[in-house]
Amino acid sequence: MKIPGIAILNCIAFLSLIIQPNNHLKAQQKTDTAQYMVASAHPLATKAGMDILKQGGNAFDAITASSFMLAVVEPTMSGIGGRLQAIFQKANGEIGGVDATTQVPMQYKPKAKEEENGFGTIGVPGMVKGILELHTKYGMLPLKQVMAPAIQTAKNGFPILKEESLRFNSVLSELKKYATTREVFLVKDTTPTNGSLFKQAALAHTLKKIARDNGHSFYKGKLAQNLTAQISLGGGSLRFEDMQRYEAQEGKILKGNYRGFEIMALGMPSYGAIAIEMLHLLEQENLSTATEFEFLMHHANAHKKAYEDRKFLKTNEDLLVERSYALGRWRDSSTTIVSKPEDARNGHTTHLVASDGEGNIVSVTQSLGPIMGSKVASENGYMLATTMGPYLGSMKAGERASSHIAPVLVLKNGIPILALGAAGGARIVPAVVQVISRFIDQKMSLEHAIAAARIYHLGDRVQIENHDRVYWKESTTLQSFQKKQILYTEIKQPAQFGRVHAIQRLPSGQWIGAADPDWTGSAGY
């Protein structure tokens, strides 16, 4: 079966696709390799990172350029009003992480009935602090140079992709509730249409200030004062003091081992512990000889058991990454159905990765929460994330938001082999784990591993991805589910099982990049 489109694009392909708005922007399969690589959810973001690498920047410069560009061209998924988690390995082998999640304001007081969106759901934005932390400590090029592509794109505009327009439309009624959102993101009370040129003057102005003073104005200057005055007037709890106090924190690095590969992930507020636990659970089975049906069922069981253990994340996270614990859990047959239904809104968040010829590699996930976050736009031109309210559950003043975000590095003898992560809410961790397992257990190419069908355990049944872009190792798999009388639901709509972006290091030291065929992303040059 032909693999669905996977991205390793050249600059000419970027431009030809972007200026033809009626084309569904698919990734092109190629076998090119490069000394450096970027993969992201939008061709313009990938191009921004690759261009910075060509200008002499390193992976940290590239990830910064791509991150800010995504905030411009994919505002439904992430932005400078949202949160970010990053894991990286420097060329010298040092592994680190950044926690730049949103934070609950100190004046926040929980209400008996929380709103789904609006001013009351807005916490302290972390994305700007997080990405600038990476660039300030490890980047090589001036911030103005790195941010220039995003600033110019916001100022001059870019053609809205069909999928982005559809996401805008899916929340149009909520966007209309807020005056600043209507002013910043709507055109005559409707959303930007497919192929229309979308300009963001206010965002360009904000990005220019961030580039000029390294984010000082965003957290401690006029931009912060404007934002908090707007939120206070709208009845929210975010204050100038919250912005001034906010800091990106060092991410906790968790270590696992899967069949001789080292798995590096982030601890809370990321869900790296659950990703490692799932892999340790799966290690109890020989998946290299498993049928496709057996492979998917083992993953469904591992997913179910690990997600039952999410209750331990805040109290005993380290237990979840112990291989002995996973062995006991795999033998334990007393699992229960998760009583709380999983959030079905999985069309949000974005992931990007970058590497360079020196050996630096960075994996970043950034998010607003649900599509367009709180639905409230800052007067300074960007959407604000949802932090408090039903979306993330009960929160306390000063608490940092946790989520299913799970950027991961896979190493062999200390050398990075894969950097990956995903978008998609609660589907993020299973998507990342299944790609790693396909790659290691079934020895699939990175392209096949990302395109292969995924499974998700939900309540008393499993959901199975099955649409035109899915790659099946065995075409008779669904018949096996029927014969075994396994309760399952086929999901034929694309992008419902997480969207993975990844890069792979070859033995030669060169890199291959791959973008999920379910999305409009790209990888390469």
pLDDT in tens, 301-321: 999 999 999 999 999 999 999
Token pair recorded at residue 69: 């560009």
* DSSP three-state, residue 324: helix
pLDDT for residue 33: 65
As a whole number of angstroms, the distance between CA 288 and CA 267 comes to 29
The angle, 0 to 180 degrees and rounded to 10, between the axes of the packed helices 272-282 and 292-308 is 140
pLDDT for residue 385: 98
Token pair recorded at residue 114: 């929380």
DSSP structure class, residue 492: -
Sheet holding 461-465, edge to edge: 455-458, 461-465, 488-491
As a whole number of angstroms, the distance between CA 362 and CA 60 comes to 7
pLDDT for residue 511: 95
pLDDT for residue 76: 97
* DSSP three-state, residue 280: helix
As a whole number of angstroms, the distance between CA 354 and CA 63 comes to 6
* DSSP three-state, residue 428: helix
Token pair recorded at residue 6: 């996977």
- Pairing state between β 522-523 and 37-40: antiparallel
Token pair recorded at residue 336: 């229960």
Label residues 109-137 b or e (16+ Cβ within 10 Å = b): eeeeebeebbbbbbbbbbbbbbbbbbbee
Task: Indicate the domain borders of the chain.
Answer: 11-250+350-398, 257-345+409-501
- Is the Cβ–Cβ distance between 426 and 345 less than 8 Å? no
Within 221-354, residue ranges assigned H as helices are 222-233, 240-245, 272-282, 292-308, 317-320, 323-331
Helix (H) or strand (E) holding 354: strand 350-355
Token pair recorded at residue 236: 């929210």
Q: Kindly report the pTM of this predicted structure.
A: 0.92
As a whole number of angstroms, the distance between CA 218 and CA 243 comes to 8
- Is the Cβ–Cβ distance between 54 and 35 less than 8 Å? no
- Is the Cβ–Cβ distance between 512 and 469 less than 8 Å? no
Token pair recorded at residue 158: 């870019």
As a whole number of angstroms, the distance between CA 363 and CA 407 comes to 6
As a whole number of angstroms, the distance between CA 39 and CA 63 comes to 10
As a whole number of angstroms, the distance between CA 7 and CA 518 comes to 11
* Half-sphere exposure in the Cβ direction for 294 (13 Å, CA): 9
Phi, psi of 262 (to 5 degrees): -85, 130
- Pairing state between β 158-159 and 253-258: unpaired
Report in angstroms the alpha-carbon separations of 96 from 38, 67, 252, 296.
Answer: 19, 18, 8, 32
Phi, psi of 285 (to 5 degrees): -120, 150
N-terminal to C-terminal alpha carbon distance within the chain: 26
As a whole number of angstroms, the distance between CA 282 and CA 452 comes to 18
Among candidate residues 340, 339, 330, 334, the one with its CA nearest the CA of residue 306: 330
Is 328 exposed, middle or buried, given 0-12, 13-18 or 19+ CB atoms closer than 10 A?
exposed
Segments of the chain with pLDDT less than 50: 1-32, 335-341, 344-345
DSSP structure class, residue 41: S
- Is the Cβ–Cβ distance between 295 and 287 less than 8 Å? yes
As a whole number of angstroms, the distance between CA 306 and CA 426 comes to 12
Phi, psi of 87 (to 5 degrees): -130, 145
pLDDT for residue 1: 34
As a whole number of angstroms, the distance between CA 100 and CA 88 comes to 14
As a whole number of angstroms, the distance between CA 146 and CA 137 comes to 14
The CATH T-level fold of domain 257-345+409-501 is Serum Albumin; Chain A, Domain 1 (1.10.246)
- Is the Cβ–Cβ distance between 505 and 416 less than 8 Å? yes
